[in-house]
């Protein structure tokens, strides 16, 4: 069948290869499968229920869930089929942000996953005049359950109304408003049509590797984020069963249970996985640690699709058997690849994971581009570590004179909801979307060098690209998070959230008694000394003007909940700077 609207992907799966596990969530400790047929039947009932509630085409319905779950998809397809516009939200938003987005989008209904979110929305409901109802996925006393909407649509004789509306929905119709995470200022509602996301899914097809029969994807990145959401539709299209992880804390257990063939990651997760592996291997002791370190050194510069010679192949086979096979078991044993997005991945880690037999395909995109602009594939001519692959066929990418990446294509948004001024600012005179990222194209592959808005000059007039420097320093197992500062100052410095567990392990190895708190931990001379040595080591990879001269450690972890990280674990630089202004002033003697 021809696919032109998002709901066509599920229908396509039903017609061509229906699955018993189209969607799978863990409920009360057991994996519960939803077949393709059941998925569509429930979505149809939800659509009919929305019509009974008086929902009209282009009405807005917000949806927010603390974890990815099957119900989200049923609601998503159900909304699309009657022409309603979904407004997916992050569960970590503040009350002020929820209030702003619900008012800005003029949402009529909101569906929440649990009582905590219900309480948050209930507190602001009186401030949102358009909002007529709150429904929940979980059973909450006194709160309408989303199943009530499905029950309203029990009468299948009304399906003709849904089908009539589906036939009227055009590819150019708006299907969703996705509000940017708002690292600075108010969130902007990115307007995306069926065509925007469908075209991106179809253009990504040729970048997907070959999977065995009945492949499985494990999903844990926020489904409201366009990266994971687009891939959900792609999984439907490629007939891949989608299993939802319980949480990031249980991800390791879920990987071993589900044994996925593909999953998406963000660089911070890859770094955490590697840190855990390194800690286990480096502290095993004796011959085990020696073998681990030997295997690691073997693949630190591993280049996929390169003939490394017979001797290397022999050594690599031994390393796989003794060390890397255990890494693969830890991620389920069946992974064909992981897809990384959201932020740049440290090249050293990519070399190591490929060498370990766990390929990572790094891609690039934005909410405004639905999201994928470019992505690596598992072919020699379309792959390069340190790059985000070749632009998708059908996406026009060019580099502006100042290095900014400009994009045009069917996947690019037409603008921001109710914000013509921001929309006008986002495009060039000839219609290219300005990504705000700096990059180059080398041998047909796109390479991101930094965020245009994050680059700054020192007082000496030298440009500093924070992300490049931060990625180098995050290779240190002692560093959990790091932010480069120094705009208008004579030198760049860094604020560091150390890896507290690694530091504690270091003290134990050195037979130094552990302090009672992280506040005391970061004052210990041996800790300051080891961080200083890490800074000196990493500085060797930087130009003289980029070298870090001073650092300060924070006693707290940087988290999503405290507003220092976005839901995809990127730095909220303004918030970090505000919280640790006293450390900034200390480094610069203010």
Question: Residue 236 phi/psi, 5° resolution?
Answer: -60, -45
Would you state the pLDDT for residue 537?
A: 93
Q: Are strands 174-179 and 189-193 parallel, antiparallel or unpaired?
A: antiparallel
| Residue 47 in tokens | 């659509």
In this model, does residue 515 exceed pLDDT 80?
Answer: yes
Q: In this model, does residue 251 exceed pLDDT 50?
A: yes
Between CA 186 and CA 69 the distance in angstroms is 28
Averaged pLDDT, 264-270: 88
Which residues touch 80 (CB under 8 Å, ≥6 apart)? 5, 6, 7, 86, 169, 175, 194
Per-residue pLDDT, 467 = 84
Once rounded to an integer, what is the mean pLDDT over residues 250-270? 93
State percent of the chain over pLDDT 70: 99
Comparing 140-154, 297-311, 407-421, the range with the smallest average pLDDT is: 297-311
pLDDT grade for 185, boundaries at 50, 70 and 90 = low
Q: How do strand 551-553 and strand 493-498 relate by DSSP bridges? A: parallel
Q: What is the mean pLDDT of residues 541-556?
A: 92
pLDDT of residue 39: 98
Band of residue 378 on the pLDDT scale cut at 50, 70, 90: very high
Find out whether 236 and 311 touch, Cβ atoms under 8 Å.
no
What is the spatial distance between Cα 105 and Cα 88, in angstroms, rounded to a whole number?
11
Beta bridge partners of 34: 23
What pLDDT does residue 442 have? 93
Residue 429 pLDDT grade (very low, low, confident, very high; cuts 50, 70, 90)? very high
The full set of domains in the chain, from first to last, is: 8-258 (3.40.50.12780), 270-451 (3.40.50.12780), 456-587 (3.30.300.30)
Q: What is the pTM of this model?
A: 0.86
Residue 9: both structure tokens together: 């992907």
Strand bridging mode 216-219 / 241-244:
parallel
pLDDT tens digit string along 562-583? 889 887 778 889 899 999 999 9
Return d(Cα 7, Cα 240) in angstroms, integer: 16
- At 318-347, the pLDDT tens digits run 999 999 999 999 999 999 999 998 778 888
Q: Which of 413, 410, 409, 411 has the alpha carbon at shortest distance from 396? A: 409
Residue-level pLDDT at 457? 81
Radius of gyration of the chain from its Cα atoms, rounded to whole angstroms: 25
- Does the pLDDT of residue 229 top 70, yes or no? yes
Please give the mean pLDDT across all residues of the chain: 93
3-class DSSP string for 455-524: CEECCCCCEECHHHHHHHHCCCCCEEEEEEECCCCCCCEEEEEECHHHHHHHHHHCCCCCCCCHHHHCCC
| Number of Cα atoms under 13 Å in the Cβ half of residue 42 | 17
Q: Sorting pLDDT into bands at 50, 70 and 90, what band is 183?
A: very low
Task: Report the 10 Å Cβ neighbour count for 443.
Answer: 9
In sequence order, the β-bridge partners of residue 32 are 25
Phi, psi values for residue 261, rounded to 5°: -95, -20
Does the pLDDT at position 521 exceed 50? yes
Q: What is the C-alpha separation between 440 and 406, in angstroms, rounded?
A: 11
Per-residue pLDDT of 3-45, as tens digits, reads 999 999 999 999 999 999 999 999 999 999 999 999 999 999 9
User: What are 359-372's pLDDT values in tens digits?
Assistant: 999 999 999 999 99
* pLDDT for the residue numbered 567: 79
């Amino acid at each position: 069948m021809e696919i032109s609207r998002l709901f066509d992907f599920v229908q396509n799966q039903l017609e061509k290869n229906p699955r018993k596990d189209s969607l799978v969530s863990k409920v009360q400790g057991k994996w519960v499968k939803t077949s393709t047929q059941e998925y569509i039947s429930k979505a149809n009932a939800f659509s009919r229920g929305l019509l009974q509630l008086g929902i009209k085409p282009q009405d807005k319905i917000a949806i927010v869930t603390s974890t990815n779950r099957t119900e989200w998809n049923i609601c998503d397809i159900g909304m699309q089929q009657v022409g309603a516009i979904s407004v997916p939200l992050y569960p970590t938003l503040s009350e002020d942000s929820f209030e702003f987005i619900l008012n800005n989008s003029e949402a009529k209904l909101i569906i929440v996953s649990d009582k905590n979110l219900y309480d948050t929305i209930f507190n602001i409901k009186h401030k949102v005049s358009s909002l007529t109802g709150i429904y929940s996925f979980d059973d909450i006393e006194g709160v309408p359950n989303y199943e009530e909407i499905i029950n309203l649509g029990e009468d299948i004789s009304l399906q003709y109304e849904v089908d009539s509306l589906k036939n009227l929905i055009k590819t150019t119709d708006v299907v969703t408003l996705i509000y940017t995470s708002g690292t600075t200022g108010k969130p902007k509602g990115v307007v995306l049509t069926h065509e925007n996301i469908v075209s991106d899914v179809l253009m990504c097809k040729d970048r997907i590797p070959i999977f065995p029969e009945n492949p499985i994807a494990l999903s844990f990145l926020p489904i409201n984020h366009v990266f994971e959401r687009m891939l959900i539709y792609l999984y439907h299209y490629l007939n891949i069963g989608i299993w939802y992880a319980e949480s990031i804390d249980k991800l390791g257990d879920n990987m071993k249970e589900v044994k996925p063939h593909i999953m998406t990651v963000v660089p911070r997760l890859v770094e955490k996985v590697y840190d855990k592996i390194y800690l286990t291997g480096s502290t095993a002791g004796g011959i085990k640690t020696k073998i681990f370190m030997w295997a690691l050194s073997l693949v630190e510069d591993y280049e996929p699709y390169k003939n490394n010679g017979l001797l290397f192949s022999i050594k690599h086979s031994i390393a796989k058997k003794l060390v890397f096979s255990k890494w693969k078991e830890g991620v389920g044993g069946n992974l064909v690849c992981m897809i990384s997005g959201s932020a740049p991945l440290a090249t050293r880690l990519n070399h190591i994971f490929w060498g370990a037999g766990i390929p990572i395909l790094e891609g690039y995109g934005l909410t405004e581009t639905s999201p994928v602009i470019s992505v690596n594939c598992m072919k020699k001519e379309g792959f390069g570590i340190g790059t985000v692959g070749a632009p998708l066929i059908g996406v026009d990418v060019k580099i502006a004179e100042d290095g900014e990446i400009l994009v045009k294509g069917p996947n690019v948004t037409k603008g921001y909801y109710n914000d013509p001024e921001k929309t006008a600012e986002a495009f060039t005179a000839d219609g290219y979307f300005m990504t705000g990222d700096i990059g180059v194209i080398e041998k047909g592959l796109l390479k991101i060098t930094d965020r245009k808005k994050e680059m700054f000059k020192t007082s000496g007039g030298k440009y500093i690209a924070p992300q490049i420097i931060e990625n180098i320093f995050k290779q240190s197992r002692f560093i959990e998070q790091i932010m480069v500062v120094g705009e208008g100052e004579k030198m760049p410095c860094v604020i560091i959230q150390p890896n507290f567990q690694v530091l504690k392990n270091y003290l134990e190895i050195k037979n130094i008694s552990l302090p009672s708190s992280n506040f005391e931990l970061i004052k210990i001379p041996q800790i300051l000394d080891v961080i200083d040595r890490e800074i000196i080591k990493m500085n060797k990879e930087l130009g003289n003007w980029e070298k870090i001269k001073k650092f300060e450690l924070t006693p707290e972890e940087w988290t999503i909940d405290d507003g220092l990280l976005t839901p995809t674990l990127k730095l909220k630089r303004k918030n970090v700077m505000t919280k640790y202004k006293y450390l900034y002033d200390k480094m610069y003697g203010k």
